[in-house]
Structures are given as C-alpha cells and as structure tokens.
Amino acid sequence: MHEQPGLQDTARRVETCGDYLVFRHYFTVDKVRLHGASLCMKHLLCPLCAIRRGSKALKAYLDRWEVIRAANGVLRPFLVTLTVKDGDDLAERFKHLHGAQRELWKRKQRGRGSVLDGVVGAVWSYEVKRGSGSGLWHPHLHMIALAEHQPDATALAIEWKNITGDSHVVDVRPISQENPVTGFLEVFKYAVKFSDQPPEDTVHCWRTLASKRLIGSAGVFRGVVVPEDLMDDPDGLDDLPYATLFYRFLREKGGYQLNAR
C-alpha cells in the first residue's frame, strides 16, 4: 500500500494512546476517577478508546432504560440480532445490512403489519467480523428492543428474508430484568473484535466504516446523549479533596510509572 502522511499520523496517535493517564483519588471516600488522558479517539482502531466509548454509551442507555421502566412497568427489554449473509465486499455487505434495517423500521411506520409493531423503542449497534466458517465479512447488528411481549423470532426471520432477499438468520431473546447490564453490554461492546482479527482487517474495517454511524436508536430510546468526553464522570465528587495520580507509560519498560502529586 502507498504510504500516506495522514495514515502515519493516525498510526502514531493510536500507538501513543493512553501514554499519559491522570487519575484523581478522592481519599476521604477512597474513590478513583480518570480525570485526564492522552487518547487517540480512534475507536475503530484502538481497544482503549473503544472500551471507554462503549462504557459511556452503556451508561447513557441504561440510565434511559431506568427512566422508561419507572414510567412504564409492563415493558421488557429483548436482545434482537439481525445478520446478513457473509460476503467478500465489506462496504457492500454493510450497506445491505444498514439499508435492510432502515426498511424494517419503515415497515413498522407504514402500519401495514410488522413483527416490530409491539416495539416502542430500540437502540442498536453494528458489529463487523469475519464469518467463522466462510472467512468472509459478516456484518450484523445487536438491538435492545423494548416491548410488552417478545417479538416472534420465526415471523421476524420471514420478514427479514423478505426485506434482504438473501438473509434469514435472526435471534430474539429476553434480557434479564434483574441484571440488564449483560444484555445491554452485547449492544455496546466493540464494533470490531481487535484480538480476533489480524491488524490489516482492523485497518480495513476502520477505512470502510469510520464515516458511518454505528449506533442507531428509535422510539423511546431516541435522543439519548452519549458524552463525547471519554473521562470518568466525577459523580458529584468534585467538591471533595483529592490527590492527583499521574501515570506515564514507559515504552522501554513496557509499563506505567506513577508520579503522585
């Protein structure tokens, strides 16, 4: 591949991501919060930024779910997975999945009968990996769907096949009411599994998907604001005294050095 200066710059930013981490230790309550860091913000290339971003989205949508649940006790969350057939062109397969998801929601809006008719709100995210058998690109999406009754998986598979023309593999399962985090985590984990794929695949995903919105929402989940800032929320600790813990990554040692101030 022809080397581009912009790519070199991005590579340097990702490589040095997290070299500086500043924590505040609120010692009167013994709580630690990440206050500052040198982050690359390339969540499709960098596991550290991906996990920070995912946890911010997880918290924002769990908070909204608590508000919805308090107002409407009959709603339950379901985890819906929609997949498209594997293919060798990631951009084409992603566009296909994205378009099919749009059409599924349009059908619900048109009011002519859709499996999603009972769903009053949803949030979903796109995930990309290579199919385990085919080795071809396998984009799919995981969605939290809120409804009184579980959407029918068989009917959804038929509707999905009707929309996509080539894909019928879907999954619908309830999310634990007592511990919704596990189900929500499925939606807000990485868009790519960094450790499961070679770096060239990660770079290909980034170049193909960097300009795309990988989280979508509808109905009562619309308008949730996920903070851009990847630092910890001080959670009302601001007024308490703290000690600053300054960590610097030492490349030659392969570890962090702490300077307390």
Closest C-alpha to 57, from 180, 207, 206, 228: 228
d(C-alpha 144, C-alpha 141), whole Å: 10
Q: Which residue, 17 or 157, has its beta carbon nearer to Zn ion? A: 17
CB of 204 to Zn ion, least distance (A): 18
Which residue has tokens 């009011």?
Answer: 111
Closest C-alpha to 221, from 197, 187, 193, 192: 187
| H/E run at residue 15 | helix 5-15
For 109, list phi and psi in degrees, rounded to 5: -65, -35
Q: Which residue, 22 or 169, has its beta carbon nearer to Zn ion? A: 22
Which tokens hold the place of 231?
């630092």
Size, binding site for Zn ion by CB under 5 A: 6
CB of 249 to Zn ion, least distance (A): 12
Q: Which residue, 49 or 119, has its beta carbon nearer to Zn ion? A: 49
Q: DSSP assignment, residue 104?
A: H
Q: Which residue, 79 or 192, has its beta carbon nearer to Zn ion? A: 192
| Among 21, 37, 49, 218, interactor with Zn ion by CB under 5 A | 49
CB of 71 to Zn ion, least distance (A): 37
| Among 21, 37, 40, 214, interactor with Zn ion by CB under 5 A | 40
Residues in touch with Zn ion (CB under 5 A): 17, 39-40, 46, 48-49
